[in-house]
Amino acid sequence: MESPDPRNLVPPGRTAQFSAFVAAVLMVALLVSANGLVSFVSALPDLPAAFWTMAVLAVACDARPFLPPGRGQSSSAVFPSTCFTFAILLGWGLGPAVAVQAVAVVASGVRMRHAPWRTAFNAGQYACSLAAAYAITRLGPGGIYDGAALGWTDITAIGGAGVAWFAVNYGLVTTAVRLRFGERWWPNAWHGLPFELLSTGSLLLLAPVLVTAARASAALVPLVLVPLFAVYRMARLTVEQHQLAALDPLTGLPNRKALLAEVNEQVHRHAERAARGESGTRLALLLIDLDRFKNVNDALGHAVGDRLLVEVSARLTDAVASPQMVARLGGDEFAIVMTGITDVSEARSLADQVVEALAEPVPLDGLPLDVGGSIGIALFPDHGEDFATLMRHADVAMYDAKHRNDTVAVYTAESDHNSAERLGLLADLRRVLEVGASGRADGSGSAEATTVRGGDGAVLSTSAPLEEPAGIRWWSRRRRRPRLLHHDDELIARIITGADPTVRRAARDGEPDAAAAGGAVWSGTGGGGQPDLGGGGADPAAPTVGDRPGAEPGTDAGEIMMYYQPQVAIATGEVVGVEALLRWRHPRRGMVDPEELIRVAEQSAVMRLLTRRVVDDVVEQLAKWSAAGLGLRAALNVSVRDLHTGEIADQIADRLTRYGVAPERLQLEITEGALMADPRRVLTTITRLHRIGVGIALDDFGTGYSSLQHLRRLPLSEVKVDRSFVLGMTEDADDAAIVRSTIELAKALGLRVVAEGVEDERTWRMLHAAGCDAAQGWFYARPMPAEELVAWLARYRPLRPLGGHDEAEIPRRHAR
Distance CA 8, CA 27 (A): 21
**Low-confidence winner among 357-366, 445-454, 713-722, 754-763 (lowest mean pLDDT):** 445-454
Per-residue pLDDT band for 672 (boundaries 50, 70, 90) equals low
- Mean of pLDDT values over 156-173: 88
Cβ–Cβ < 8 Å for 150, 56 = no
Find the length of the chain. 816
Task: Report whether pLDDT(452) > 80.
Answer: no
pLDDT at 431: 81
Distance CA 712, CA 63 (A): 86
Distance CA 86, CA 158 (A): 10
The type of residue at 682 is: V
Could you give phi then psi for residue 719, rounded to 5 degrees? -125, 135
* Higher-pLDDT residue of 190, 467: 190
pLDDT at 317: 87
Task: Report whether pLDDT(537) > 60.
Answer: no
Per-residue pLDDT band for 9 (boundaries 50, 70, 90) equals low
Most confident of 6-20, 445-459, 466-480, 574-588: 574-588
Mean pLDDT, the chain, whole residue set: 75
Q: Three-state SS for 646?
A: coil
Which residues make beta-bridge pairs with 671?
Answer: 699
Question: For residue 91, what are the contacts with CB-CB under 8 A and spacing of at least 6?
Answer: 50, 51, 145, 211, 214, 215
Per-residue pLDDT band for 252 (boundaries 50, 70, 90) equals confident
* Higher-pLDDT residue of 324, 28: 28
pLDDT at 634: 95
Cβ–Cβ < 8 Å for 633, 577 = yes
- Which of 667, 671, 691, 693 minimizes the C-alpha distance to 682? 671
Provide Rg for the chain, Cα atoms: 40
pLDDT at 526: 34
Query: Distances in Å between the alpha carbon of 98 and those of 31, 50, 527, 663, 728?
Result: 12, 17, 78, 97, 90
Helical pair 501-509 and 606-627, crossing angle rounded to 10 deg: 50
Return the number of other C-beta atoms located less than 10 Å from residue 724's C-beta.
14
Task: Report whether pLDDT(72) > 50.
Answer: no
Distance CA 344, CA 348 (A): 6
- Mean of pLDDT values over 67-92: 70
- Tens of pLDDT, residues 315-325: 888 888 877 88
Cβ–Cβ < 8 Å for 25, 172 = yes
pLDDT at 547: 37
pLDDT at 640: 73
pLDDT at 676: 63
- Please report the sign of the dihedral spanned by the C-alpha atoms of residue 335, residue 341, residue 347, residue 349: negative
Distance CA 246, CA 329 (A): 11
The count of C-alpha atoms lying within 13 angstroms of the C-alpha of 88, restricted to the half-sphere facing its C-beta, is: 30
Task: Report whether pLDDT(98) > 70.
Answer: yes
Which residues make beta-bridge pairs with 635?
Answer: 579, 667
Which residues make beta-bridge pairs with 668?
Answer: 636, 696
pLDDT at 808: 44
Per-residue pLDDT band for 49 (boundaries 50, 70, 90) equals confident
Which residues make beta-bridge pairs with 66?
Answer: 78
**Low-confidence winner among 160-169, 236-245, 464-473, 595-604 (lowest mean pLDDT):** 464-473
End-to-end Cα distance, the chain: 56
- Mean of pLDDT values over 705-715: 65
- Please report the sign of the dihedral spanned by the C-alpha atoms of residue 680, residue 685, residue 690, residue 692: positive
- Mean of pLDDT values over 494-522: 43
Most confident of 41-45, 733-737, 802-806: 733-737
Q: Say whether pTM exceeds 0.75.
A: no
Query: Distances in Å between the alpha carbon of 388 and those of 187, 267, 285, 384?
Result: 18, 12, 11, 8
Q: What burial class does residue 589 get, using C-beta atoms within 10 Å of its C-beta: 0-12 exposed, 13-18 middle, 19+ buried?
A: middle
pLDDT at 184: 52
Task: Report whether pLDDT(430) > 90.
Answer: no
- Tens of pLDDT, residues 547-604: 333 334 344 667 888 999 999 999 999 999 999 998 888 887 788 877 777 766 766 6
**Low-confidence winner among 112-121, 670-679, 710-719 (lowest mean pLDDT):** 670-679
Cβ–Cβ < 8 Å for 56, 230 = no
pLDDT at 551: 38
Query: Distances in Å between the alpha carbon of 6 and those of 269, 272, 553, 585, 787?
Result: 12, 15, 56, 58, 75
Task: Report whether pLDDT(57) > 80.
Answer: yes
- Tens of pLDDT, residues 416-427: 655 566 667 777
Cβ–Cβ < 8 Å for 326, 320 = yes
Distance CA 188, CA 193 (A): 9
% of the chain residues with pLDDT over 90 = 20
Could you give phi then psi for residue 763, rounded to 5 degrees? -60, -40
- Pairing of the two strands 373-380 and 282-290: antiparallel
pLDDT at 247: 84
Longest dimension (CA), the chain: 128
- Mean of pLDDT values over 467-494: 40
Task: Report whether pLDDT(801) > 50.
Answer: yes
pLDDT at 483: 43
Q: Three-state SS for 562?
A: strand
Interior angle at CA 752, CA 751 and CA 755, nearest 5: 130
Distance CA 137, CA 131 (A): 10
DSSP string, 222-247: GGGHHHHHHHHHHHHHHHHHHHHHTB
DSSP string, 363-394: EETTEEE---EEEEEEEETTS-SSHHHHHHHH
Task: Report whether pLDDT(87) > 80.
Answer: yes
Task: Report whether pLDDT(810) > 60.
Answer: no
Distance CA 782, CA 779 (A): 8
Distance CA 216, CA 212 (A): 7
DSSP string, 770-803: HT--EE-STTT---B-HHHHHHHHHH-------S
pLDDT at 243: 67
Which residues make beta-bridge pairs with 333?
Answer: 289, 330
Return the number of other C-beta atoms located less than 10 Å from residue 798's C-beta.
10
Centroid of chain to Cα 608? 22
Q: Is the peptide bond before 798 cis (omega within 30 degrees of 0)?
A: no
Distance CA 594, CA 602 (A): 12
% of the chain residues with pLDDT over 70 = 71
Most confident of 241-255, 468-482, 786-800: 786-800
Distance CA 310, CA 640 (A): 38
Q: Which residues are catalytic?
A: 756
Distance CA 122, CA 134 (A): 18
DSSP string, 47-116: --HHHHHHHHHHHHHHTS-B--TT--TT---B-THHHHHHHHHHHH-HHHHHHHHHHHHHHHHHHHT--H
Cβ–Cβ < 8 Å for 715, 693 = no
H-assigned helices in 138-184: 152-181
Distance CA 626, CA 501 (A): 11
H-assigned helices in 276-414: 293-300, 302-319, 344-359, 387-403
Could you give phi then psi for residue 471, rounded to 5 degrees? -95, 0
Q: Is the peptide bond before 48 cis (omega within 30 degrees of 0)?
A: no
pLDDT at 470: 35
- Which of 660, 623, 692, 300 minimizes the C-alpha distance to 471? 623
- Please report the sign of the dihedral spanned by the C-alpha atoms of residue 724, residue 730, residue 735, residue 740: positive
- Which of 448, 400, 447, 456 minimizes the C-alpha distance to 426? 456
Task: Report whether pLDDT(703) > 50.
Answer: yes
pLDDT at 714: 78
Task: Report whether pLDDT(760) > 60.
Answer: yes
Torsion of CA 343, 348, 349, 350, to 10 degrees: 100
